[in-house]
Structure 1
Amino acid sequence: MSVAESSEKSSSNTLLVLGKISSILDAFSLSKPVLSLADIREATGMPTSTVQRLVANLMSQGFLDREEDAYRIGMRMAYWAAPATRGMEVIDVISPLLKTLRDTTGETACFFKTEQHYRVCVAMADTRHALRREMHLGKVLPLHAGSAGRVLLAWDPDLLEAVLRDPLEPITESTITSTEDLATAVKKTRTDGFAIIVGEREDGASGLSAPVFDSAAGLVGAVTISGPTLRMPQETCEAWVEPLLTTAEHMTRLIGGRFPGEA
């Protein structure tokens, strides 16, 4: 076989493999985001051994992620697809990541934005536990109590100044009501890059939050994990800082954002 023929055969094999990979990825849809190996085999018509081999390779490269005994499109694909999300609503882009965070921790994952001197829940993935904190889309909450409020104030100096001018009403015995103490707590949040709060807004409840930024490094909102303190003591919250920050970074990247200080 000549060099030209060998090169042509290699290119043909590569295209054949890419075609099979495309068939597997095309099997996933919004109505069927999670597929088993049997589902993929049925959708593609490929032999079981071929599907198993290609799915394993796709997982190793981040094209697919495992979800229990099934598979879904890998989050790594979202990085490459970031330009395609330009012009989309932020909530549509970040909502899948809230579900992933909920599945990782087992607790409710929310996204909060500011509205005047309050914070509002604009997206959420509710826990599957029977015992849960009450939260719903559109819920309006004070900014001076809770981890999301702490984050929203930490990256918005004008808003912090405005909130500090008003009386800080106590909600629980742990609520910060001193303007000096709140300013100190907000400064720590900005230094840490996240906030962990226990019992400030609701007795027996915990939350941890991190910021999400837009392309101008402006604050978009706060991603939050919240739940009862009996399942979320301080040590558990601290263990979940890494997945929280990873989610916040993914959200920032997906909407074409950057962190303050980045070029």
Structure 2
Amino acid sequence: MTSRTTAEDDAPTSRHRPLLVLGKITEILDAFSLTRPELTLGEIQQATGIPTSTVQRLVSNMVAEGMLDRSGERVRVGVRMAYWAAAAAKGVDVLTLVNPILREIRDATGETACLFREEQGYRVCVAVAETRHALRREMFVGKIMPLHAGSAGRVLLAWNPPLADAVLSGPLEPFTDATVTSPDVLRGLVAQTRRDGFAITTAERDDGASGLAAPVFDPASDLVGALAISGPTIRMPRPRCEELVDLLVAHAEQLTRTLGGRHPS
């Protein structure tokens, strides 16, 4: 018996077509980031590889539905999306969302990934994915460290001016020869962190240890915490830390967007 193939068999069914369209819509939304909140149609096409005519059609439909907002020749993620994102994040423990991201960072870099929050004038590790290397920095959930030493502390100070003022008004204890103990110098470094969107430090709290950190924000643009990568300086010299900045910042943006958050304007 021979099988018959009809034009109807070859044609995409309505059951499959929406999945293809949703995939393209997702690619378009993923093209936007906190560092590139507005894009032209050409930039969207370059970022996604979707044909220009399809980009034009989908963007027009997404603008009509409020998924994107148009301003002249540029578009951005629509304000309506914030309502959906806030509903999605409502009642969800941040740690439930951050742990898979920490594991992604650990697996991509081979180093320990953590999330730090400020608690009572200190920085506290609230989530961690430890490196599989035998040589590692000691890190565990609940570990308490100073705010004025290390990249995560610098990020927590950079987006919390009252906290920075309080920390910088008191004595800054030295932990190593590289610890910044001058309030004026540290204030400048904190300001630089805010301008850069990340911080890199070496041997400020522990000799032979390096780290880099980036901020995570909630829907009110308040700081959720500092996402950080840390490890021995022998594996993470300054050039290696600089190579990891884009990866770290991208994951911090991913977590911010998952929480429905937005970067302070």
Length-normalised TM-score, structure 1? 0.70
CA-CA distance at 1:87 after TM superposition: 1.8
What percent identity do the matched residue pairs reach? 55
Q: Which residue of 2 aligns with 1:187?
A: 191
Secondary structure at 1:15's aligned position in 2?
coil
Q: List per-residue Cα deviations over 1:23-53 (Å, max 9, x = no partner).
A: xxxxxxxxxxxxxxxxxxxxxxxxxxxxxxx
CA-CA distance at 1:94 after TM superposition: 1.3
> Does residue 101 of structure 1 match 2:105?
yes
Over aligned residues, Cα RMSD in angstroms? 2.5
Distance 2:9 2:110 in 1: 51
Aligned length: 198
Secondary structure at 2:242's aligned position in 1?
helix
Q: Which residue of 2 aligns with 1:221?
A: 225
Q: Which residue of 1 aligns with 2:122?
A: 118
Q: Which residue of 2 aligns with 1:15?
A: 15
Distance 1:217 1:15 in 2: 39
> Does residue 150 of structure 1 match 2:154?
yes
Distance 2:8 2:224 in 1: 50
Secondary structure at 1:240's aligned position in 2?
helix
- 1:177 is aligned, of 164, 168, 181, to 181
For the 8 Å contact 1:143–1:150, the answer to whether it is kept is: yes
For the 8 Å contact 1:121–1:136, the answer to whether it is kept is: yes
For the 8 Å contact 1:133–1:205, the answer to whether it is kept is: yes
Note the residue ranges of structure 2 that are not aligned, 5 or more in a row: 1-5, 20-48, 51-80
Q: List per-residue Cα deviations over 1:125-179 (Å, max 9, x = no partner).
A: 0001010000100000000000000000000000000001111000001001111
Distance 1:235 1:216 in 2: 34
- 2:206 is aligned, of 202, 212, 216, to 202
Q: Which residue of 2 aligns with 1:234?
A: 238
Poorly superposed stretches of 4+, deviation over 3 Å: 5-11, 16-19, 81-85
Say if 1:250 and 1:16 are closer, same or farther in 2 by CA, change over 3 A. Answer: closer
Length-normalised TM-score, structure 2? 0.70
Q: List per-residue Cα deviations over 1:181-237 (Å, max 9, x = no partner).
A: 110110111111100000000000000000000101111100000000000000000
